[in-house]
Amino acid sequence: MTLFILLRDTTVIGKIRSSCRLLSTVFVLFVGLSSQQALAHAHLKVQTPKADASVSPAPKALTLSFSEGIEPNFSGVKITGPDNAVVKTGKLQLDPNNNTQVNVPIEGELSAGKYNVSWHVVSVDGHKTKGQYSFTVN
């Protein structure tokens, strides 16, 4: 009788262990898939002029490169100058050979001072991201 109870307990313990392994596997898969979705947003990788750079001469355009493809119709860039005035820019253009890179033509000349760049993009998978950086014209 004691042997039967021990075997029976071992079977119950085995079922519990098996259930715990299954739950652990499901949890790990859930966390892994969730983190992949977080990584799916378009993050700014490279910008020209670079963040916090001092440049001379003044740039004629900005170039922003992202970690994934961008939907240009739902994306935008705003540049403000030293006097906090908005700098007039042309239409944001997607690089024809690289859908992760956008170009923003600057209309007119930038005078010396600090410029702030605020951007917002929608990636090809529909995720929205935004950010900002600054550069200085000497």
Residue 16: φ, ψ to 5°? -65, -45
Report pLDDT digits (tens) over 33-47.
444 444 569 999 999
Q: By percentage, how much of the chain surpasses pLDDT 90? A: 70
Q: Where are the alpha helices (DSSP H) in 1-105?
A: 2-38
DSSP character at residue 109: P
Which pLDDT value is given to residue 37? Answer: 46
Q: Which of 17-21, 66-70, 71-75 has the lowest mean pLDDT?
A: 17-21
Summarize pLDDT for 76-118 with one digit per residue, the tens. Answer: 999 999 999 999 999 999 999 999 999 999 999 999 999 999 9
Q: Helix, strand, or coil here: 137?
A: strand
- What's the pTM value of the predicted model, to 2 decimals? 0.71
CATH of 44-137, one of 3.60.20.10, 3.40.50.1110, 3.30.1330.60, 2.60.40.1220: 2.60.40.1220
Q: What residue type is 100 in one-letter code?
A: T
Structure tokens, 49: 């002029």
Domain boundaries, the chain: 1-39, 44-137
At 70 the pLDDT is: 96
